[in-house]
Amino acid sequence: MMTEIPGWFRRAIADGHNVLEALRLQGQPFTDEEAKLATRMWANVLWVVPVDWDEELDAQRLRDGFVRLASQISRWPAPAQLLEYMPRRPERERLARPTMTPDQQLTAKREVAALAKLIKGDSRVPRTDVTEDEVQKAKDQAAAMRGSPRVED
């Protein structure tokens, strides 16, 4: 089932048809009724093209495509020809690469090491969610149980 065609898309197709009709091309619709029918059919045919039409990205592309198409033809075109003359969509701005805090880097390194051990078949996988403070606390507790001074790396 076809989704409803938005007004911006219908207007872009109608405006483009007006450009083509002004050229008085061979094979163009003769009557106003034929021209209106052709505009509706173009909108219906192009709307179902798997483009994921978006007004912000595509309204100007449609206008530009009709102008390019009009400059290259001498006969009334088929809707598919418009697609050939439309410019590419502008590249979307890429997101900056996320930065990691030192703690996140340490956690990531531990998790990668744990995964590497799993892949190698080592069943003694260490916990990856242990902080440096927890490690030092465990060392201090072990040292206290032995009666020795604090253990430093």
Output the 3-class SS for the chain. Answer: CCCCCCHHHHHHHHHHHHHHHHCCCECCCCCHHHHHHHHHHHHHHHHCCCCCCCHHHHHHHHHHHHHHHHCCCCECCCHHHHHHHCCCCCCCCCCCCCCCCHHHHHHHHHHHHHHHHHHHCCCCCCCCCCCHHHHHHHHHHHHHHHCCCCCCC
pLDDT tens-place string over residues 26-53: 999 889 999 999 999 999 999 999 989 9
Neighbouring residues of 17: CB distance < 8 A, sequence distance ≥ 6? 35, 38, 39, 42, 66
User: Among the listed ranges 28-32, 80-84, 140-144, which one has the minimum average pLDDT value?
Assistant: 140-144
pLDDT on residue 67: 97
Confidence label for 124 from pLDDT (cuts 50, 70 and 90): low
pLDDT on residue 108: 87
Residue 127 reports pLDDT greater than 70: no
Mean pLDDT of the chain: 87
Query: Domain spans of the chain?
Result: 7-85, 102-146
- The residues that bridge with 26 in the sheet, in sequence order, are 75
pLDDT on residue 98: 82
Residue 138 reports pLDDT greater than 80: no
Confidence label for 152 from pLDDT (cuts 50, 70 and 90): low
pLDDT on residue 57: 93
pLDDT tens-place string over residues 86-103: 999 988 788 888 888 888
pLDDT on residue 126: 62
Q: What pTM did the predictor assign?
A: 0.60
Confidence label for 151 from pLDDT (cuts 50, 70 and 90): low
